[in-house]
Amino acid sequence: MDDPSTDLHDTILSHHLNKSVQCRVLIVDDDDLVRARLASLLRLSNFEVEVAGSGEEALRIISAAPCQIVLTDWQMPDMDGLALCRYLRTACAESYIYVVLLTVRDTKQDVLAGLAAGADDYVLKGTPVEEILARMETGRRITHVEQSLRTSNRENRRLAITDPLTGAHNLRYLMRNLPRELSRCRRYQHPLAILSCDIDGFKQVNDRFGHQAGDLVLQAFVARSTSCLRKTSDWLARIGGDEFVIVLPETTVGGATSVARKLRRQLATQPVATNTGLVAFMASVGVTALEPDEVPSGPSAVEEILNRADRNLYASKRGEINGLD
Amino acid sequence: MGSIKHHPRRAISATENIATSEKLQELFAVRLQSERVHFVTLSAALARAEESPGGIFDDLTFRAHRLKGAAATFDFANLAAAAGALERASFAAANSRAAHTDPEVWEALVALVDMLGVIEQNTPRAPDLPPVLLAD
């Protein structure tokens, strides 16, 4: 005997999906009455509907705005349903398109050919409306799951290269992208500069004002540094507790020094407001400028550059070079 | 064919949808009247096409296939079956280069035209319908 609670659960689930998941369906059929009938049924089930009279028209609509489901007839003038399926499967769409073939062709060979062309489902015209809608709900559910996974993967990729506290790039990003900057510098014979920074007395900030205040100082450093950089080319990565690297492509030693000065002025303008009071802070900045001919290559190039930047940072701390103050 | 009009969508109420569905049924009834005229015209052409009925068979196949799909979509299962029978018969006749008197084709054609006539008699005459309905 059927369990009524299961039916109730399915109804609630279906209702929930209907209400919450936006799903755009493209109906492709050369018969305008068939299109209108299907569109009417799907709109009542809360699908957003577009219509096309041929495969070619369908592709134009999809290229203008993505659809989650394509419900297509088989026999149509110009590009038919099978050709449309094949095209959609070979094209590099940003997200998966669930394809349902809705046709009167009912032989086993037809079904196999439809599925082989890339259709996800094969429905005969004349199938009860409830069944067609149930199959469309399957498509809605699958495309929703696929979109959720895609969003989640995108977020994971972003988090993998982002420092969660400050929102700046992290060491992984630096190790992946600095070699690219070095090779670009060599190839196009452009200068490259690197600022190696750390916050002066950061341990004392943490000890005196607490770690929460320390976190605010790190966030303020990133926000103020970012405001000094070119948005399209410069970038900043947090590579340790209070250590940061700023990469300035196509920048000479003069340009890099003036960015470092500007950054230190920004830090000096106002203290950071924390729960334990105002915290004034400053950062040391080591400037490393590379001319294209002196950019190292090979697997140890990044390490070599970072060591050099570190040496310049400590020389700066000792007041030996740069004259930033 | 297949013109697309993009405009902002809004939710369609159940009442509106029933009205749309009824209007589509009425439009389909009008379509069936015109299909009957087409099939009668094609049968007259087939009767005269002693030399080369191939083109007529092709037209019958195409039109029957189209009617089969629309009839199935509008829940006219028997009509879809009759159209399917004509589609198969005329397709086979075209492939086998059959004569214009091919009995399977004529049997299926007459049955389909008769069925369309019965449907037409049982359908109340549709009022004048605005053509914009199909502009989706």
A132 and A184 inside one domain: no
Q: What gap in Å lies between CA B61 and CA B43, rounded to an integer?
A: 13
**Is pLDDT above 70 for A202?**
yes
Are the beta carbons of A283 and A221 closer than 8 angstroms?
yes
Q: What is the pLDDT of residue B64?
A: 96
The label of the residue with tokens 């001319």 reads A291
CATH pick for B14-127 out of 1.20.120, 3.10.20, 3.30.450, 2.60.40: 1.20.120
Q: Provide ipTM, 2 decimals.
A: 0.74
Check B9 against A40: CB less than 8 A apart: no
Q: Which two tokens stand for residue A235?
A: 């970038």
Name the residue among A48, A51, A73 with its Cβ closest to that of B69. Answer: A73
What is the mean pLDDT of the segment spanning B34-41?
96
Query: How far does A128 lie from chain B, in Å, by closest CA?
Result: 8
Q: How far is the first Cα of chain B from the last one, in angstroms, to the nearest whole number? A: 12
Chain B environment of A40 (Cβ under 8 Å): 12, 17, 20-21, 24
A127 and A197 inside one domain: no
Backbone phi, then psi, for B47, in 5-degree steps?
-60, -30
Burial B26-46 (b: 16+ CB within 10 A, else e): bbbbebbbebbebbeebbeeb
Query: How far does B98 lie from chain A, in Å, by closest CA?
Result: 24
| Cα–Cα separations (whole angstroms), residue A151 to A13, A35, A78, A237 | 22, 32, 36, 24
Chain A environment of B68 (Cβ under 8 Å): 104, 125
Name the residue among B6, B69, B80 with its Cβ closest to that of A31. Answer: B69
Check A51 against B80: CB less than 8 A apart: no
A324 assigned to some structural domain? no
Check A53 against B1: CB less than 8 A apart: yes
Give residue A11's domain range.
Answer: 4-160
Query: pTM of the entire structure?
Result: 0.71
A120 at B interface, C-beta within 8 A: no
Mean pLDDT across chain A: 90
A122 assigned to some structural domain? yes
Check A125 against B69: CB less than 8 A apart: yes
Question: Which of A108, A141, A160 is the last residue in one of the domains?
Answer: A160
What is the mean pLDDT of the segment spanning A123-134?
93
Q: What is the pLDDT of residue A21?
A: 77
Q: What gap in Å lies between CA B77 and CA A126, rounded to an integer?
A: 7
A322 assigned to some structural domain? no
Check B84 against A104: CB less than 8 A apart: yes
A123 and A152 inside one domain: yes
Q: What is the pLDDT of residue B126?
A: 54
| Cα–Cα separations (whole angstroms), residue A306 to A193, A200, A215, A236, B108 | 12, 19, 24, 14, 85
Report which of residues A308 and B128 the model is more confident about: A308
A13 and A48 inside one domain: yes
A59 and A175 inside one domain: no
- Of the candidate ranges A9-23, A32-46, A205-219, B2-16, the one whose mean pLDDT is the lowest: B2-16
Indicate the number of domains in chain A: 2
Among chain A residues, the shortest Cα distance to B76 is held by A126
Q: Which two tokens stand for residue A220?
A: 């303020």
Selection from A25, A52, A40, A265 nearest residue A135 by Cα: A25
Name the residue among B17, B28, B73 with its Cβ closest to that of A44. Answer: B17
Name the residue among A46, A61, A104 with its Cβ closest to that of B68. Answer: A104
Q: What is the pLDDT of residue B8?
A: 46
At residue A319 the predicted structure's pLDDT band, cuts being 50, 70 and 90, is confident
Name the residue among A30, A43, A125 with its Cβ closest to that of B73. Answer: A125
Name the residue among A30, A48, A125 with its Cβ closest to that of B1. Answer: A30
A213 and A306 inside one domain: yes
Q: What gap in Å lies between CA A184 and CA A195, rounded to an integer?
A: 18
**What amino acid is encoded at A8 in this protein?**
L
**Is pLDDT above 50 for A148?**
yes
Query: How far does A23 lie from chain B, in Å, by closest CA?
Result: 13
Q: What gap in Å lies between CA A266 and CA A236, rounded to an integer?
A: 16
- The string of pLDDT tens digits covering residues B54-106 is 999 999 999 999 999 999 999 999 999 999 999 999 999 999 999 999 999 99
Check B134 against A39: CB less than 8 A apart: no
Q: What gap in Å lies between CA A295 and CA A179, rounded to an integer?
A: 10
Radius of gyration over alpha carbons of chain A, in Å?
Answer: 30
Q: What is the pLDDT of residue A276?
A: 87
Question: Which of A160, A194, A222 is the last residue in one of the domains?
Answer: A160
A113 and A183 inside one domain: no
Q: What is the pLDDT of residue B17?
A: 64
- The string of pLDDT tens digits covering residues A256-277 is 999 999 999 999 988 999 988 8
What is the mean pLDDT of the segment spanning A57-61?
94
Residue % of chain A over a pLDDT of 90? 79
The label of the residue with tokens 């007041």 reads A319
**Is pLDDT above 50 for A230?**
yes
A9 and A142 inside one domain: yes
A85 and A228 inside one domain: no
Number of A:B CB contacts under 8 A? 89
A111 and A176 inside one domain: no
A325 assigned to some structural domain? no
What is the mean pLDDT of the segment spanning B12-24?
71
Are the beta carbons of A113 and A121 closer than 8 angstroms?
no
**Is pLDDT above 80 for A229?**
yes
A298 at B interface, C-beta within 8 A: no
A38 assigned to some structural domain? yes
A165 assigned to some structural domain? no
What is the mean pLDDT of the segment spanning A111-124?
97
Q: What gap in Å lies between CA A55 and CA A318, rounded to an integer?
A: 71
What is the mean pLDDT of the segment spanning A73-94?
91
Burial A116-129 (b: 16+ CB within 10 A, else e): ebbbbbbbbbbeee
**Is pLDDT above 50 for B132?**
no
DSSP bridge pairs for A69: A25, A98
**Is pLDDT above 90 for A211?**
yes
The label of the residue with tokens 């799903």 reads A23
Estimate to the nearest angstrom the gap between the alpha carbon of A109 and the chain centroid. Answer: 42
DSSP bridge pairs for A286: A196
Check B1 against A39: CB less than 8 A apart: no
Name the residue among A35, A52, A104 with its Cβ closest to that of B72. Answer: A104
Check A40 against B17: CB less than 8 A apart: yes
Check B134 against A52: CB less than 8 A apart: no
CATH of the domain at A224: 3.30.70.270
What is the mean pLDDT of the segment spanning A110-132?
95
Q: What is the 3-state secondary structure (H, E, C) of chain B?
A: CCCCCCCCCCCCCHHHHHHHHHHHHHHHHHHHHHHHHHHHHHHHHHHHCCCCCHHHHHHHHHHHHHHHHHHHHCCCHHHHHHHHHHHHHHHHHHHCCCCCCCHHHHHHHHHHHHHHHHHHHHCCCCCCCCHHHHHC
How many residues are present in chain B?
136
HSE toward the beta carbon, residue A17, CA cutoff 13 A: 19
A147 and A19 inside one domain: yes
Question: Which of A91, A125, A160 is the last residue in one of the domains?
Answer: A160
Chain A interface disruption, residue of B5, B7, B66, B73, most A CBs within 10 A:
B73
Check B73 against A126: CB less than 8 A apart: yes
A294 at B interface, C-beta within 8 A: no
Chain B environment of A110 (Cβ under 8 Å): none
Among chain A residues, the shortest Cα distance to B1 is held by A53
Residue % of chain A over a pLDDT of 70? 92
A227 and A265 inside one domain: yes
